[in-house]
Chains A and B, each alone.
Chain A
Amino acid sequence: MTAASVPAGRSLFRAAELIGDILSRPSGAIGLTLVALHLLIALAAPLIVPYDYKAISSLLMLKPPSTAHWLGTDHIGRDVLTRTLLGGREALLVTTIATPIAVLWGGFLGILFGLSGGWLDDMAMRLVDAVLSLPKILFVLTAAAVLGAEPIVLVPMLAFFYGVPVIRVARAATHDVVARDFVTASRARGHSRFDIIMREILPNVRDVLLVEGAMRWSWMLLTFSSLSFLGFGVSPPTPDWGLMIKDASPVMSFAWWAVLAPIAALSTLIVGINLSADALAKALGIDRAQKAPV
């Protein structure tokens, strides 16, 4: 598999080949399609929604799906389809910015600690353990409650808390690479530290970070939605899946459509990301079962 998954040549060609490889796997084809569909909907939603997401109507309260309202209406008569199509935009915006930040800073520190070893590495890892043991939702929630649930607050919070586990993954991957002979060879030749990181280590850790990033992305989406569900995230009337689930859950027993639509939307996105990450890991030849549990 590795021979097929590591094509030679330019990085663009490599990327194209990689996507081809992912799509050739059932999990990858389904996952990538789901993710692409969600991104497309999030971008195009304002143009295609049939109703105003804010339009309230006392006459249309909790109507089941019909030809006029394909997914029915909610407890104050808003169109569920409209709100579901729009409901992922905020979550995707925040998490899509926060994920690369988390991977970059976490990966950078992880490589540094993995390379240095010794007491610095030991101390840093204990600190990472300590942060990981904190219930991060509490901190994000407090920040959102105090400073407001704006992207400017949520992006750094999520990027911080989801970057910490990346440190550990990057450090473990670096440890594996550092012990290999090509790094020893590079040291023996006398290349600089920076050269060794950029040329020898990063290319071998990059794939692990890519997969890790995909996983973190789906976790962040869940956390973001949980925040809304708990009432500390997106404020009404802005449509958001977490908020929709919260609003519709009390009437779930007789108006199932209002809660099912946002749940389906959130699940398909998260399942899609996970399937893609899985196929990506396989295409890159990384065995996720062997990765350090975080």
Chain B
Amino acid sequence: MGATLIDVRNLSIGFAARDGAMLPIIRNIDLAVREGETVGIVGESGSGKSTLALAMMGYLKGGLRVLSGEARFRARDTFALSNRALEEIRGGDLALIPQNAGQALTPTLRIGAQMEEALRLHSSVPSAGRAWRSRELLAQVRLPDPAALLARYPHELSGGQQQRVAIAMALAGEPNALLLDEPTTGLDVTTQAHVLELLRDLASRTGTAMVYVSHDLGAVARVCDRVVVMYAGEIVLDGSARDVLRAPAHPYARGLIASIPRLDIPVLPEAMEGRPPRPGGAGAGCAFAERCPLVVDRCHSQRPELEDRGGGVRIRCHRAGEEVRSGATRKRTIPRQRRMDGDGRELFSLADVSISYARPGFIDQLLGRTSAGVPTVDGVCLSVVRGETVGLVGESGSGKSTILKAIAGLVPPSSGTVWFDGAPLDSHVDRRTNMERRRIQLVFQNPDASLNPRHTIAEILAQPLRLYLRLDAAAIRERSVALLDRVRLGPHYLERLPSQLSGGEKQRVAIARAFAAEPEIVLCDEVTSALDVSVQAAVLGLLDQLRSENGTTCLFVSHDLAVVRALVDRVVVLYQGRICEAGPVADVYAMPSHPYTEMLLGAVLEPDPDHAPVLLGEDVVERAPPAQGCPFQRRCHRKLGAICETTAPPSEESGGGHIIRCHIPREELARLQGAAPASPTRRTSSGID
């Protein structure tokens, strides 16, 4: 390890409240990053991790002020530097890779122009050599055909490619340190895995120090040697990735890791109750005391110090030295509450449903042409039994949310029928009866958008009750209180507005609203992807409990394979709006699988430094599905040849209803995938590595 590069000492940053009090966002941070070190800063939203990372480059977001301490870069206090000096450091020796590269790139400039600008500002490369150097940098981040890429605009690139360009631009000044602010959040799992491998590779090859800010412990585990856990603006645990992730010494870190759904443990993850304190609300004691399973009296009155416990481990906990680990953490054995109704009757089904967003143009309409290109969702058949939970998984653009909207009658299918309880449903929600609508309820991804910010919780819950059950005011109130109780919120929430609730609480209200209609089927669209991982665990548990108590059928859309594994009975894997594989959850997650499922499962990250994702195929994103043949033909790492391009794959069904749509016979797939490394050894892809 080299010299200290970034040195943060006793740094506190806060903002002034309306009444003039200073509320801290981060408190007394001590953190040193040496040359070549890769440090992950993890924590939930609001933990101050981004504020800390930006402070390292002398940047404060609007309204924030340094309350105490300093942040040094190469022994220079970044908050004392002139703008001129900061400009030289930023992007040069210390570069930032932002979360959303698509927004960080200028949309009106070609990639080449943006690369050359970065080189002009932050390197000594003469103008004649910049084009060549740009190509070299793009090749370094493993972008195919760099020369052609220079002439492209950002919108012509996929999200993963944009993020790679942002990384290449950050490398232009040959930085000694990279700040990465959630660089893979928002990318598809397979793309994320590729970007992480690239970062990991860069760190080991160039010796660049990295500060990796993320809420995703799996991503941090993959890239970082050292992990810093933040809670309520404080560092609570600091140590090697292996120490922190495998044997977390702090109760918060332990809870955080236990709340992550794991692919290898098909049970619901443990939830952490409560919520972190607001800025300035931590009180005199330990900030985590309210939620801590190990809490003792001292924790409420005295703030623990960040103690050095040797071996590079620092921990902020009064009970750090004690042997309390056994018995303190609950075991992860809460089984999924299964309650199939048993009659096995089909509740609803999709019969050959196709959906096309593209409307035929005016001329086409005049000429009586109706079809407009390749549909977004094509020929989806799905049958769901009463009481069952079915998961729809796939990457963005796989049509999984579109299918839910078609069932809800919000996007009429271009062909095919939705059957419900033995009768066809009208394709348009307005033409369905009130009773039909009551039986199908939706829960949306983002509760900020799905709850009207102007309505109190009472009004939000009253809407379905009034509409479907025609209750009077007293009955509505009584029912609303009962509903809130079932999602574990007190009656005092009735008078609140959504803006006064946390993300998890909002999603509970949204779930309560869906269940208020006493539906027979609940359509869940990525219901936990906007939530923090500890909150996610609680919401999943709640959803599962409500579902099993009411015997509600549930269609659960998610991109997170581990979440789906924990919650559902049956899975449907979608690619570009076409079903690749479907079957009981255990069968789909076990080999043999469709090559696409294999790819997705391989890319899943685990919060374990010894787990390596298996990268299969290339990191490319398609825009339109192919007109014929197998939808997955362009990315498939097991492609046979011409047959995949011309003929739609047969659907091969085994006993137990496990369907794989692939030209490769099941036995052959089993043989191929059995040969593939299932053990966590590092295997790089055939394509780009």
Contacts and interface: CB of A to CB of B under 8 A. Distances in A.
A212 B495 CA distance: 29
A175 to B, nearest CB: 15
A3 interface: yes
A191 interface: yes
B450 interface: yes
A185 interface: yes
B525 to A, nearest CB: 9
Contacts of A51: none
Given A8-B495, A190-B467, A182 B451 contact: yes
Query: Most chain-B Cβ atoms within 10 A of its Cβ — which of A6, A8, A9, A182?
Result: A182
Contacts of B464: 189
Nearest to A187: B429
Interface in A198-218: 199-200, 203-204
10 contacts: A3-B500, A184-B410, A185-B442, A185-B450, A188-B408, A189-B467, A199-B459, A199-B463, A203-B452, A203-B454
B446 interface: yes
Given A6-B497, A181-B449, A203-B452, A191 B463 contact: yes
Contact of B452 (A3, A187, A189, A200): A200
When A and B form their complex, which 6 residue pairs have the shortest distance between CB atoms, in order from nearest?
A203-B454, A181-B450, A181-B449, A190-B437, A182-B452, A181-B444
A182 B449 contact: yes
A182 B441 CA distance: 13
A58 B444 CA distance: 78
A19 to B, nearest CB: 16
Contacts of B434: 190
A4 interface: yes
A190 B497 contact: no
Given A180-B449, A191-B467, A200-B452, A185 B444 contact: yes
Contact of B432 (A3, A184, A190): A190
Contact of B410 (A188, A199, A203, A204): A188
A182 B451 CA distance: 5
A9 B495 contact: yes
B456 A8 contact: yes
A24 B19 CA distance: 11
A235 B463 CA distance: 56
Given A4-B18, A184-B410, A204-B452, A189 B437 contact: yes
Nearest to A184: B410
B453 interface: yes
Main secondary structure of the interface of A (DSSP, over half): helix
Contacts of B430: 187, 190
A234 B61 CA distance: 53
B409 interface: yes
Given A8-B456, A8-B496, A188-B437, 16 more contacts: A2-B499, A3-B500, A4-B18, A9-B495, A180-B450, A184-B450, A185-B444, A187-B430, A188-B409, A190-B429, A191-B463, A191-B467, A199-B463, A203-B452, A203-B455, A204-B452
Interface in B575-595: none
B517 interface: yes
Interface string A169-187: 0000000000011101111
Nearest to B457: A8
Nearest to A191: B467
Contacts of B517: 189
Interface of B: 18, 408-410, 429-430, 432, 434, 437, 440-442, 444-446, 449-456, 459, 463-464, 467-468, 495-497, 499-500, 513, 517
A203 B434 CA distance: 25
A240 to B, nearest CB: 41
Contacts of B450: 180-182, 184-185
A182 to B, nearest CB: 4
A181 B449 CA distance: 5
B672 to A, nearest CB: 42
Nearest to B433: A190
A189 B449 CA distance: 16
Contacts of A203: 452, 454-455
Nearest to B499: A3
A188 B499 CA distance: 23
Contacts of A200: 452
A282 to B, nearest CB: 12
Interface string A3-30: 1101011000000000000001000000
Nearest to B450: A181
Contacts of A199: 452, 455, 459, 463
A160 B517 CA distance: 45
B499 A204 contact: no
Contacts of B499: 2-3, 6
A174 B410 CA distance: 19
A3 B453 CA distance: 10
A188 B525 CA distance: 14
A188 B432 CA distance: 10
Nearest to A2: B499
A150 B497 CA distance: 47
The residue among A2, A180, A184, A185 with the most chain B CB atoms within 10 A of its own CB is A185
Query: Which of B409, B445, B451, B452: most chain A Cβ within 10 A?
Result: B452
A213 B314 CA distance: 58
Contacts of A186: 463
Nearest to A9: B495
Nearest to A202: B454
B432 A8 contact: no
Contact of A187 (B410, B441, B446): B410
B446 A181 contact: yes
Nearest to A207: B454
A2 B453 CA distance: 10
Given A181-B449, A190-B429, A190-B467, A204 B409 contact: no
Contacts of B453: 2, 6, 204
A8 B429 CA distance: 33
Contacts of A187: 410, 429-430
B467 to A, nearest CB: 6
Contacts of B446: 181
A3 B18 CA distance: 12
A191 B438 CA distance: 11
Nearest to B495: A8
A20 to B, nearest CB: 11
A193 to B, nearest CB: 9
Contact of B429 (A2, A180, A188, A204): A188
Contacts of A191: 463, 467
A189 B463 contact: yes
Given A185-B442, A185-B444, A204 B463 contact: no
Given A181-B449, A188-B410, A204-B454, A8 B467 contact: no
Contacts of A182: 449-452
A189 B467 CA distance: 8
Nearest to B451: A182
Given A181-B449, A186-B463, A188-B437, A8 B497 contact: yes
Nearest to B456: A8
A228 B513 CA distance: 58
A11 B99 CA distance: 40
B499 to A, nearest CB: 5
A2 to B, nearest CB: 5
A2 B513 CA distance: 24
Nearest to A193: B430
A233 to B, nearest CB: 40
Contacts of A180: 449-450
Interface in A132-148: none
A187 B454 CA distance: 17
**Most B-side CB within 10 Å, residue of A3, A187, A188, A191:** A188
A194 to B, nearest CB: 13
A204 B513 CA distance: 20
Nearest to A185: B450
Contacts of B513: 185
A24 B451 CA distance: 29
A8 B458 CA distance: 11
Contacts of B429: 187-188, 190
